């Protein structure tokens, strides 16, 4: 499905920031002397794990929800997601007091379903297949007339995510580069949108799991390559690029670096141990690639986007049996 | 052993703050909408888990180390501890470039030993008994002439810990109360020292594990009661009060509240899940007591000292087998 709306421009980021400011946190930037020494770089971690609903996704979702006219808002919003976008859209809709419907496979973790309901979202279950999801979602839209907020390809969502690097530039002077995980490309597109306007010389790196490296292969091939069902512990990064995010990635990204599952888990554990923060596997991918490619980052000032902190504490990847279960 | 030096006064806290500022972090204060709703109070978490060496103890240790004359410093410092004080004193001594010797039972976790050595500390092992520890420590002192920095009863250490609540008052206006864990009483004594000078009407609560409730029983009895070897997951809180900390606790503390092991583990997991920060079991005790005694805190603005974040990621208390091993 092609999004008929035009690509967002930087003025959309500014408007988004004003619109969502009452509903989000201006998250802190943390540093670690230990990790700086280990990498030879100055790392500035933008902690969206402390964001409302536990992830940066609330920026884009809030921009979509609070940008609706009253008459459109009355019909509510809808999406398909079993991840942070589902939580974030439910949170934003709850703040505006409008309905939110999330189509989610019945196999999704109970904890995610509970979190969506906790924010006031309604879940409609589908089978864990694209066919079923699309059919169920079409029915939901027909029944409710709800506005569809795509997790990352929606221009309003990209503009919302762009507010994150706008804050980062305000918080840290003299950055040489920014690095963020890439799945569907919403966060990276937001970075591209903001940095190309405010700091066009800054380098933009995307970090991706080796086992879900479709964006990296797309970047090299010059066109979108979508994998069917990649298997990685970084479960926020399994989705493919779409035309809007591909535009930003192909135009502005410096390079896409990858890391193995073991490297991702080690970087995640290292961050928990040394920085004392809870981060998702997905947001450990940038640090994993920095540790793997020290020559790219040494001596530079690097902004690292920590995208979220929604983790099942009972299934940590270094717990006995967990990594084996996930990686086979 | 009675400390011959006079009790610290608030001017010592001010001097300590100036002395240690270049060597410590001014740690952030975090809040959680979820936990505020859950408790009916406004909670302000002072995050010493983000402190240098991972715990507030570096404040007191740095004050002792950087307050030494050059001739005394040349002989180094020494202590007995298998916890955060050992790491903190090693860190501070390393910053000043002087020797640090830590007497530690050979049964202490390898991770702690490695951390002390990582900061440049020297470990001298003893048997896991008070007799052995005192004999070995006396020998170390005789051999080195090192200055003994007690983990909590030392007036310089108490004055250093007092800088934490001084920062908190600067960061959050209108607090009604402060709550911190209590073991030997160093942090609580520092709070008492600072708050009795700057905010004498503010309430001061101490939080203690039920299974190591010697401070609570001392408080009720009016004299120090020391337990031999209490068993609790909150391993920083097993030590007894000493005369200097008892002075502050008995004079200024409003009340001492206790929580069970299960309540502590639940509060710890809740903090990780909701606040996305890594905290030690010891610093979950205040939240556990707030959740247990909502009537005491409801409607109030409460400063909560998160004392440290040094946790063995491979032995989390909610991992299978862990809580059973520890609690029996």
- The structural domains of chain B, with segments of one domain joined by +, span 10-55+154-327, 58-148
Sheet holding B203-209, edge to edge: B29-30, B42-47, B301-306, B177-181, B203-209, B255-259
Residues 6+ apart with CB under 8 A from B145: B75
Give the percent of chain A with pLDDT over 90: 87
Residue A16 has pLDDT above 90, yes or no: yes
pLDDT in tens, B207-254: 999 999 999 999 999 999 998 788 999 988 999 999 999 999 999 999
| Predicted pLDDT at A229 | 80
A313 with B273: Cβ contact below 8 A:
yes
Count contacts between A and B (CB, < 8 Å).
Answer: 47
B326 vs A253, higher pLDDT: A253
pLDDT in tens, A134-193: 999 999 999 999 999 999 999 999 999 999 999 999 999 999 999 999 999 999 999 999
Give A75: exposed, middle or buried? Use CB within 10 Å, 0-12, 13-18, 19+.
middle
From CA A175, how far away is CA A202, in angstroms rounded? 7
Residue of A nearest to B266 (CA): A313
| Predicted pLDDT at B4 | 67
Nearest to B278 among A277, A314, A320 (CB): A277
| Predicted pLDDT at B319 | 83
Q: Which helix (H) or strand (E) holds B100?
A: strand B100-105
A54 with B272: Cβ contact below 8 A:
no
**DSSP structure string for B73-90:** HHT-EEEE-SSHHHHHHH
CB A227 within 8 A of CB A240: yes
B276 with A272: Cβ contact below 8 A:
no
**Which of B58, B276, B277, B306 to probe by mutation at the A interface, max A CB count within 10 Å?**
B276
Which chain B residues are Cβ-neighbours of A309 within 8 angstroms? 276
Residue A328 has pLDDT above 50, yes or no: no
Residue of B nearest to A313 (CA): B273
Sheet holding A42-47, edge to edge: A29-30, A42-47, A301-306, A177-181, A203-209, A255-259
Residue A320 has pLDDT above 70, yes or no: no
Residue of B nearest to A278 (CA): B276
From CA A75, how far away is CA A85, in angstroms rounded? 19
Which chain A residues are Cβ-neighbours of B50 within 8 angstroms? 30, 275-276
Q: Is B15 helix (H, G, I), strand (E, B) or coil?
A: helix
From CA B12, how far away is CA B125, in angstroms rounded? 33
A276 with B273: Cβ contact below 8 A:
no
Which chain A residues are Cβ-neighbours of B45 within 8 angstroms? none
Give the percent of chain A with pLDDT over 70: 96
From CA A134, how far away is CA A140, in angstroms rounded? 10
From CA A188, how far away is CA A304, in angstroms rounded? 11
Which chain B residues are Cβ-neighbours of A279 within 8 angstroms? 276
Domain B58-148 architecture: 3-Layer(aba) Sandwich (3.40)
CB atoms closer than 10 angstroms to residue B198: 15
Which chain B residues are Cβ-neighbours of A325 within 8 angstroms? none
Assigned token pair, B276: 């996305």
Confidence bin at A322 (pLDDT 50/70/90): low
Q: Is B233 helix (H, G, I), strand (E, B) or coil?
A: coil
User: Chain A closest CA to B113's CA: distance in Å?
Assistant: 16
CB A241 within 8 A of CB A214: yes
Topology (CATH level 3) of domain B10-55+154-327: Rossmann fold (3.40.50)
pLDDT in tens, A255-294: 999 999 999 999 999 999 999 999 999 999 999 999 999 9
From CA B262, how far away is CA B281, in angstroms rounded? 11
User: Chain B closest CA to A317's CA: distance in Å?
Assistant: 11
φ and ψ of A206, to 5 deg: -110, 145
pLDDT one digit per residue (tens) for chain B, 328 residues: 556 679 999 999 999 999 999 999 999 999 999 999 999 999 999 999 999 999 999 999 999 999 999 999 999 999 998 789 999 999 999 999 999 999 999 988 888 899 999 999 999 999 988 889 899 999 999 999 999 999 999 999 999 999 999 999 999 999 999 999 999 999 999 999 999 999 999 999 999 999 999 999 999 999 999 987 889 999 889 999 999 999 999 999 999 999 999 999 999 999 999 999 999 999 999 999 999 999 999 999 999 999 999 998 998 999 866 644 444 3
φ and ψ of B325, to 5 deg: -60, -40
What are the start-end ranges of the E strands in A159-276? 177-181, 203-209, 255-259
What are the Cα distances from residue B310, in Å, to A31, A270, A312, B168, B305? 17, 12, 20, 21, 15
User: Chain B closest CA to A279's CA: distance in Å?
Assistant: 7
Half-sphere exposure at residue A123, Cβ-oriented, CA atoms within 13 angstroms: 24
| Predicted pLDDT at A168 | 98
Assigned token pair, B136: 């070995």
**DSSP structure string for A146-157:** PEE--SSSSHHH
Nearest to B54 among A28, A50, A276 (CB): A276
A318 with B314: Cβ contact below 8 A:
yes
How high is the ipTM of this complex?
A: 0.92
CB B25 within 8 A of CB B59: no
Nearest to A272 among B269, B275, B278 (CB): B278
Tell me if A10-55+154-327 shares its fold with A58-148: yes
| Predicted pLDDT at B324 | 45
What are the Cα distances from residue A58, in Å, to A63, A151, A154, A169, A307? 8, 10, 14, 19, 11
Least confident of A80-84, A323-327, B172-176, B287-291: A323-327
From CA B54, how far away is CA B56, in angstroms rounded? 7
Q: Is B214 helix (H, G, I), strand (E, B) or coil?
A: helix
């Amino acid at each position: 499905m092609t999004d008929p709306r035009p690509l967002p421009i930087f003025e959309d980021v500014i408007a988004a920031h004003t619109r969502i400011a009452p509903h989000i946190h201006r998250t802190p930037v943390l540093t670690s002397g230990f990790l700086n020494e280990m990498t030879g770089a100055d790392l500035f971690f933008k902690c969206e794990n402390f964001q409302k609903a536990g992830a940066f996704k609330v920026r884009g979702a809030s921009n979509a929800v609070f940008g609706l006219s009253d008459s459109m808002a009355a019909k509510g919003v809808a999406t398909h997601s079993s991840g942070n976008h589902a939580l974030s859209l439910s949170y934003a809709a709850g703040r505006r007091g409008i309905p939110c419907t999330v189509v989610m496979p019945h196999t999704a973790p109970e904890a995610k379903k509970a979190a969506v309901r906790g924010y006031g979202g309604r879940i409609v279950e589908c089978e864990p297949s694209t066919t079923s999801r699309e059919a169920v979602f079409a029915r939901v839209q027909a029944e409710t007339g709800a506005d569809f907020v795509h997790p990352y390809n929606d221009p309003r969502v990209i503009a919302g995510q762009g507010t994150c690097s706008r804050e980062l530039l305000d918080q840290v002077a003299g950055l040489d580069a920014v690095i963020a995980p890439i799945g569907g490309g919403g966060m990276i597109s937001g970075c591209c949108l903001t940095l190309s306007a405010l700091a066009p010389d800054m380098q933009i790196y995307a970090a991706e799991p080796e086992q879900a490296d479709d964006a990296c292969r797309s970047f090299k091939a010059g066109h979108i390559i979508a994998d069917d069902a990649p298997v990685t512990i970084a479960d926020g990064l399994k989705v493919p690029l779409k035309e809007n995010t591909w535009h930003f990635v192909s135009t502005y990204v410096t390079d896409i670096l990858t890391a193995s599952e073991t490297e991702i888990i080690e970087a995640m554990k290292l961050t928990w141990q040394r920085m004392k923060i809870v981060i998702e596997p997905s947001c450990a991918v940038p640090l994993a690639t920095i540790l793997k490619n020290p020559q790219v980052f040494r001596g530079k000032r690097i902004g690292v986007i920590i995208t979220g902190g929604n983790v099942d504490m009972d299934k940590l990847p270094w717990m006995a049996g967990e990594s084996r279960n996930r990686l086979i």
